[in-house]
Chain A
Amino acid sequence: METFQRLKQFYWPFKTYFIWSLFALFIVTAMTVIYPMILQFTIDYAVREQNYEIIPYLALAIVVVMSLKGVAVYIHQYFGDLFGIITVQRLRNTLYRKLQYLPFRYYDNAKTGDLMSRLTADVEAFRFFLSFGCAQVVNFVLLVGFSMAVMFYYSVPLTLVTMAILPFLAIVVSKFDKRIHPGFRGIRKSLARLNTKVQENVSGMHTVKALSQEDEEIVRFEDSNEDYRQKHLDISKIWGRYFPLMEFIGNVCAVFLLAFGGYLTIQGSLQPGELVAFFSLIWYILGPIMNLGFIINMFSQSKASGERLLEILDEEERKVDAVPNTQMNEEFVGEITFTNVSLTYGEKIEPALKGITFEATRGKTIGLVGATGSGKSSIIQLITRFYERSAGEIVIDGKSIDQFSIKELRKQIGVVLQETFLFSSTIRDNLAYGRPDVPMEEIIEAAKRADAHEFISALPDGYQTVLGERGLGLSGGQKQRIAIARAIIMDPKILILDDATSAVDMQTEVKIQKAFREVMKGRTTFIIAHRTSSVKHADEIIVLGNGEICERGTHQELLNSEGPYRKIYNIQNQDQEYVLQQV
């Protein structure tokens, strides 16, 4: 209950819908129970006692009752649904907002699949409960209550006798329920496995074919397919065992009714019409009981879903933007100083950065070099405040980095991330992602600098080409060039290139670098690279190892010092030296 209490802010504003829905439900149930009563009255009073003149009124009563029920059903269902979908709409917006502002730290451990299942399946379970589940509980109580009341009114002994069967039904229902849900879970898991298997096969098809493993793949697939079928057959066995049994128990109830009710009628303590009404009324009780397991299960599932949603909502958002009074647009220069900065990710013990100190003055280029995991990316993640430093001080333009609002800070920084991500959107919109209103000329200008204009123009739809799953596939190098242009369009004061040209060939890289040298004028630039050729023009190269600075200096200085940089250089430049010798 606490879960629903805490989610109150989402559904409580729309409680009017819910109240109307419940009110309508009350009428629906009442009218449902009245129908067999009219039938009873027709048989016992109008027909058997020959009061035929009342028939038209009874017919009218039926029309009234059914119309009332029809309208009430409409209100009940529509308002009930509305209550659910409007709540969920609000909830989704809030969740989406939350996701936009959760820190990188959160996404390091989050799996897309898990988040997606929360945003879709769990939200849906919650909606279903609000729209349908809640009212079902009420419906159960009302329908069983009303029917019982009418039955007791007609005949106490007959009610007691027919209801004697209920405990058996309850036992079967609860047993069924216990067994069916693991079954459904099994199906879901099996389907996920099957899905993974096929997806993997399709995306790895080139590898499969290259190693001619099609037959092996068929065998592997058969396993998953077989398992999926078996899980379905298992559940149909459970279904086949319990469902007919439940129906049979209900039917036995009807047989009791016929025998004992018939006996009572012959005795004269029950009217034939009352007996007929009983046949309808017992199903108003048996039906909901058969569904009870389903309702209880839905309740517990939606509770679990609610908890999973709260887990996201409870996550701490990234730090609130402090001191919005800095007027940066005019003053922002982008001079960065690190003093003794350390960073430890999450709960890890080993720090990713230890005592980093450097200064990047206006218009300077800093190269960051080192093996995978040496801390190069960590440094830029602190500048963009994707992560918060654990110790030390980062100063930008003489002010602590904390004094800038994250939004304004990031508007001044153009980042090309290591893994290129492009959105399902036109190339133009992808390029203008950081500044959606940027004029076309500027976009083309930036694309030219990133050596992307040529291939974009060659596409059938040019800049309006839509990228994405079903759209056009670009090569890794082309994607990187778009990402570079995207950063240039930001017109940032600080430019960060995290291994941004890894997938483009050497000639293109040289072209891009040349263009960059112009772009970088007056901006502070950070280049992370594996190839020494990418950083050799930097004003300062920082060589990192295990989160510490192990060497620093210009390209020439570092070459002369015969340290780790020299070693990397030598390995990478075998080719180049060779070429130089040759020509």
Chain B
Amino acid sequence: MEQITKRSRFHYTTEQIIEKPFNWKQMVRLLGYMKPYARTLLPKTIIAMLIVTAVRIAVPIFIGVLAIDHAIIPGNLNLLYTFAAIVLGLYLFSWIANVFRIRWMNEIGQHMIFDIRTALFNHIQRLSHRFFDQRSGGSILVRVINDVNSMQDLFTNGVVNLLMDIVMLIGIVVILFTLSPELAMLVLLVLPIMFFISTKLRRKIRRSWQTVRIRQSKMNSHLNESIQGIRVTQAYAQEEENMKFFNDVNTDNYESWKHATRMNAIFRPFVEMSSAIGAVVLIWYGANLIESEAISIGIFVSFAFYLGMFWEPISRLGQVYNQLLVGMASSERIFEFLDEKPSVPEKSDAKSLGDVKGEIQFDDVEFAYDESRKALHDINLTFEGGKTIALVGHTGSGKSTIVNLMSRFYDPTKGRVLLDGIDLRDLRLDELRSNVSYVLQDTFIFAGTIMDNIRFGRPTATDQDVVDAASAIGAHEFIEKLENGYDTEVEEKGNVLSVGERQLLSFARALLADPRILILDEATASIDTETELKIQRGLKKLLAGRTAIMIAHRLSTIRDADKIIVLENGHVLEEGTHDELMKAQGAYYGLVKSQYAAIMENE
């Protein structure tokens, strides 16, 4: 292991859609999404499909047995024209049925895909922080987009085609046996061969394409990363080393392609040979039968036509099987998410809040992210309404955990958190959350205009409200200076806004949301001094008249707080005002002193 990790320069884990064995339970659950359409679209589609298939099976009879034997060879021109007219009529009929078959088939499939995706997305919205803590954003995205899409083929074409192909194969076999049982027996020898090729050989092909996909996705991951990290690569003059790595990945990819493509190509001679066997049997034995007048030329011709029609449904059945296996893997992953229960469920008889004073109490609260790791021990705290309270302590002391419990991102493992005297678990979640707002350390910018981004906190706000909030915070000035003012398009990865400006934007967002309780996670990122001043002014405006809980790093913001709570390793060490705590010469005093020491050392 040591050896391997040392040798590879980069590590990529590829989340791949790999097939899973067929699972009936899951299939039934999947087909449950077809239920809304089982009485409307589905029967119509199946009827249309049956018509199309029936015509396809019938035509060789008309051309072979009927037209050749009864009209052409005896020389009956009228009968010939009648047959031609009937065939034309059948084709017309099948044309119309086909139009609807394609349309309805796609409708069923697309509706199902839509429904599954909506269910999945909506469910994810309800999941709790714990869920998101355990997964990367990318892996969630893959499920909502790729996994759902990978079932698209199965639902739009697969299911209906499956029926169609089965009907067609059975139909052909029945007809062949009716026409000439002995010839049918021999000709149908090719069927098992074809099935064998279509399943066994295809499995190998499938496996080799999976390898291709995995290698390719590794290569793409590296490409993506090498572009994003190009500045580091060039700064450290690692271009050549990276090229070596890429060359290896690229060669691996090439080799897997080469293998897969060879498997694919080998498949073809087998297909040709199996039809050759059918053709030889037909010509040899068929001609014998004609000689002994057991069958007519017309039957012989019909057989020739049907022989050519075998491969398509069989090969498609193989495809549907592939789609099924992929669909199994995808649906399993989708269901895994759908079965995930929100860890902070809302009670059915949840209480409404009414007017909120904004007092939060922690009553003997204990919390653990996982069993082995307790983040909070026996916390008893009161956050008075309308006051500003600062939480102080080192990284990992439990500051963030406390604020996460306040809006039930998590539930305490023991004890209660109360808002205005009511246990949070008895409250309606959406009401609770709309009363508690966060200004997070990194401001997330959604793609859209600045106006939309500020409005995110309260979608019903008018443009004027947004401008007012921005002005109050002190963000109006820089927004106006942007090329399109409030209509400037911004995005998460864009560089229109600086760190400080993003922060101001999130202040405006929070002010607009107008929560009773505001939680601030003060950023440490360095911001240039002018913006820093603006932020301090904006902050004062934002805090006025609310319960504010601040995770603070700067002394200037801490010392003005109404109460300071000092935490360490999940315990409360002290609480009180700045002056009280300084006087007590405890942990807080120590913290201030260590900062002092840091400054002195720097001098």
Contact = CB atoms under 8 A, between A and B. Distances in A.
A415 B305 contact: no
A55 to B, nearest CB: 5
A259 interface: yes
Contact of A78 (B235, B262, B301): B262
A578 B84 contact: no
Given A35-B279, A116-B220, A410-B236, A255 B84 contact: yes
A424 B228 CA distance: 12
A196 B447 contact: yes
Contact of A198 (B81, B144, B280): B144
A296 to B, nearest CB: 23
Interface string B225-260: 111111111111111011100110011011001100
B23 interface: no
A531 B324 CA distance: 60
B268 A74 contact: yes
A66 B132 contact: no
Interface stretch (A133-141, A155-163, A200-208): A200-208
A481 B218 CA distance: 28
Nearest to B10: A425
B460 to A, nearest CB: 10
B528 A43 contact: no
A205 B81 CA distance: 70
Contacts of A583: 592-593, 596
B265 A112 contact: no
Given A236-B106, A386-B235, A262 B126 contact: no
A210 B241 contact: no
B118 interface: yes
B47 to A, nearest CB: 16
Interface string A43-75: 100111010100110110011011101110110
B103 A236 contact: yes
Interface string A176-214: 000000000000000100111011111111111111111
B106 A232 contact: yes
Contacts of A251: 91, 94-95
Contact of A258 (B87, B99, B110, B268): B87
B553 A434 contact: no
A89 to B, nearest CB: 4
Contacts of A272: 68, 72-73, 297
B250 A92 contact: yes
A503 interface: yes
Contacts of A65: 276
A348 interface: no
B430 interface: yes
A8 interface: no
B67 interface: yes
B595 interface: yes
Contact of A530 (B73, B96, B144, B528): B528
A122 B327 CA distance: 28
B38 interface: no
Contact of A244 (B98, B276, B457, B526): B98
A206 B410 CA distance: 13
Contacts of B464: none
Given A81-B264, A424-B221, A236 B102 contact: yes
Contacts of A71: 269
Contacts of A464: 2, 5
Contact of A248 (B95, B106, B527, B530): B95
A55 B285 CA distance: 9
A19 to B, nearest CB: 17
A255 B254 CA distance: 48
B27 interface: no
A85 B257 contact: yes
A574 interface: yes
A101 B265 contact: no
Given A266-B80, A413-B235, A503-B524, A212 B433 contact: yes
Contacts of B141: 195, 198-199, 202
B51 to A, nearest CB: 12
Nearest to B212: A85
Interface stretch (A392-400, A445-453, A504-512): A504-512
Given A202-B141, A530-B529, A213 B456 contact: yes
A391 interface: no
A313 B235 CA distance: 22
B226 A266 contact: no
Of the candidates A233, A255, A413, A470, the one having the most CB atoms from chain B within 10 angstroms of its own CB is A255
A97 B243 CA distance: 6
A226 B117 CA distance: 10
B81 A259 contact: yes
Nearest to B556: A575
A249 to B, nearest CB: 9
A217 B250 CA distance: 40
Nearest to B262: A78
Given A199-B137, A255-B87, A571-B533, A82 B117 contact: no
Interface string A546-571: 00000000000000000000011001
A541 to B, nearest CB: 14
Interface stretch (A146-154, A273-281, A334-342, A518-526): A273-281
A102 B117 CA distance: 41
Contacts of B83: 258
Contacts of A81: 257, 261, 264-265
Interface in B453-485: 456-457, 459
B226 A70 contact: no
A490 interface: yes
B284 A59 contact: yes
A488 interface: no
Contact of A46 (B226, B235, B287, B582): B287
Contacts of A417: 231-232, 235
B268 A502 contact: no
B434 interface: yes
A470 B228 contact: no
A470 B283 CA distance: 61
A258 B265 contact: no
Interface in A69-107: 69-71, 73-74, 77-78, 81-82, 85-86, 89, 92-93, 96-97, 99-102, 104, 107
A38 B106 CA distance: 41
Contacts of B269: 70-71, 73-74
Contacts of B305: 279
Contacts of A225: 114, 117-118, 121
B239 A66 contact: no
B287 A55 contact: yes
Contacts of B433: 209-212
A469 B135 CA distance: 9
A484 B311 CA distance: 64
B254 A85 contact: yes
B242 to A, nearest CB: 6
Contact of A233 (B91, B106, B553): B106
A474 interface: no
Contacts of B524: 477, 502-505
By Cβ-Cβ distance, the 3 closest A-B pairs, closest first, are: A212-B433, A70-B269, A236-B106
29 contacts: A47-B300, A52-B288, A62-B276, A66-B279, A70-B269, A74-B269, A86-B254, A92-B246, A93-B247, A96-B223, A116-B227, A194-B145, A198-B121, A198-B141, A210-B440, A211-B437, A211-B457, A212-B429, A217-B125, A262-B77, A262-B84, A410-B235, A421-B229, A510-B598, A514-B601, A572-B529, A579-B555, A582-B582, A583-B593
Given A217-B125, A225-B118, A433-B238, 7 more contacts: A202-B124, A202-B144, A203-B137, A209-B129, A209-B409, A236-B102, A384-B235
